[in-house]
Amino acid sequence: MENVLKEITPKSVDYSQWYVDVITKADLVDYAPMKGFMVIKPYGYRIWEFIQEAMNREFRATGHENAYFPLLIPEHLLTKEAEHVEGFSPEVAWVTMGGGEPLSERLAVRPTSETIIGAMYAKWIQSYRDLPVLMNQWCNVVRWEKATRPFLRTTEFLWQEGHTVHRTREEAEAETLQQLRIYQRVIEKELAIPVVAGRKSAGERFAGAVETYTLEALMGDGRALQIATSHFLGQNFAQAFDIQFLDEDGVLKYGWTTSWGSSTRMIGGLIMVHGDDKGLRLPPRVAPIQVVIVPIMRGAERETVLAYATRLKDLLEVKFRVRLDARPEFTPGYKYNDWEMRGVPLRIEVGPRDVANGSVVLARRDTGAKATVSWDAVESTVEGWLDEIQRHLFEEARQRLSERTVAVTDYREAARYGYRGFFTGDWCGQEACADQIKAETGMTIRCLPLDAHPMTGRCVVCQEDASERMVFARAY
């Protein structure tokens, strides 16, 4: 235990340092030699692949197809939608040289792809029969951020961005909400992270959007993380890019567009929601290794133990992602700590005792619980325990979310909780009140929850009539 503390700074000592220790020691990422960039190592990238697989399943089931659009966007396209360019221009990286020559028009490294995709959609769409257009792309984007943290805010990050065009406003609005719920399903089911779904206030909206919907998650330190967003863009981009179609009634009309995105930031959320002082705790559904087998190879029994462990691996890897850790240079104790740091949900210890008894020892990463199980029951027990761990991690996070969500009638009450947690209260809808909260407390309106209604009808800032219920918090 003392040795663990040497490697990972306890959360209670320094949460930021704990986070950095965990992601580097668990072998998820390494810092690149340029500020704000990171390398996602195989173990971390595998988690991303599980997220991709789950999202792709949902996207396909709702009629979306994957495509790929260019990395670079000519300046004249990026600047077509006024609000959009104003929102993004401060953080755009530009390419000004090519082949040793200055370019006649500089090219933006995409910070998001509404503009280039909008330009292409305008070419492709002629008739109402061409609609809806439902595409998604997996790619990298670059935003020149001043303060960066691995996964949570990096200069370059990986994400998916969906872009759709619809014939009617209603259809586009339905799409926006459908995709939000897809995100919610994947994030809650696969990543075991409970979220609050809501609308963004005008001040927090995506640049160029009519309405932005968001999922907000609560991290282990009580700060909020925006974990996915879905935007109803109205006809703003359709008008800027001439996305028009001839409708059934013979009238030329603008399409209604949406865009929605989720990024590697989700992995940051995963770490901060489930991790503990021993390191990562991965939900089984996204764990690159679900079961690690550690053989205890003493003296003369070494061969029989290894054979037993290998048979166990063969048995289990039919249904689960299994690793047999037979490295001779490390002791079992070292391996336990090592795999716990990496968040492997389930460990199986097999030693001479187990070989003799025809049993194995199972140990859970989430609770630390151990049990001795007979060979015949191993497979079913592993399956049951993995399900149970997935459920337990979600339940634990859900409970923390509900415990740390506090209803207030005055925003100053949040001071009692050190501005940690989600605070809900009524809001008059005026930006001045939101600004006051931010200036005084550092908290922002995370969202206007979809199914909540005002409780008192009084704004938590000005005490005037309030028509909205909001969730506010300090955010990453």
Residues in contact with RNA by CB under 7 A are 3-4, 6-7, 16, 20, 31, 34-36, 87-88, 90-91, 111-112, 143, 145-149, 153, 204, 206-207, 226, 229, 261, 278, 296-299, 302, 328-334, 336-338, 340-341, 349-355, 361, 363, 368, 370, 442
The residue among 98 and 442 lying less far from RNA, judged by its C-beta, is: 442
Q: What are phi and psi of 275, to 5 degrees?
A: -65, 155
State the pairing for strand pair 444-449/196-199.
antiparallel
Residue 238 CB, nearest distance to RNA (Å)?
17
The residue among 50 and 88 lying less far from RNA, judged by its C-beta, is: 88
The residue among 184 and 245 lying less far from RNA, judged by its C-beta, is: 184
Residue 245 CB, nearest distance to RNA (Å)?
25
The residue among 388 and 464 lying less far from RNA, judged by its C-beta, is: 388
Q: Check: CB of residue 208 under 8 Å from CB of residue 232.
A: no
Q: How far is C-alpha 140 from the chain's CA centre?
A: 15
Residue 252 CB, nearest distance to RNA (Å)?
29
DSSP string of 36-76, one letter each residue: T-EEE-HHHHHHHHHHHHHHHHHHHHTT-EE----SEEEHH
Token pair belonging to 119: 């330009």
Residue 206 CB, nearest distance to RNA (Å)?
5
The residue among 260 and 394 lying less far from RNA, judged by its C-beta, is: 260
Helix H or strand E segment including 387: helix 375-403
The residue among 122 and 207 lying less far from RNA, judged by its C-beta, is: 207
Other CB atoms within 10 Å distance of the CB of residue 147: 7
Q: Distance between terminal CA atoms of the chain?
A: 30
Q: Check: CB of residue 466 under 8 Å from CB of residue 454.
A: yes
The residue among 131 and 141 lying less far from RNA, judged by its C-beta, is: 141
DSSP 8-state code for residue 204: G
Helix H or strand E segment including 181: helix 169-189
Per-residue b/e over 152-189, b at no fewer than 16 CB within 10 Å?
A: bbbbbbbbbbbbbbbbeeebbbebbbebbebbbebbbe
Using left for φ > 0, alpha for ψ between -120 and 50, and beta otherwise, residue 208 falls in left
Q: How far is C-alpha 435 from the chain's CA centre?
A: 27
Residue 154 CB, nearest distance to RNA (Å)?
10
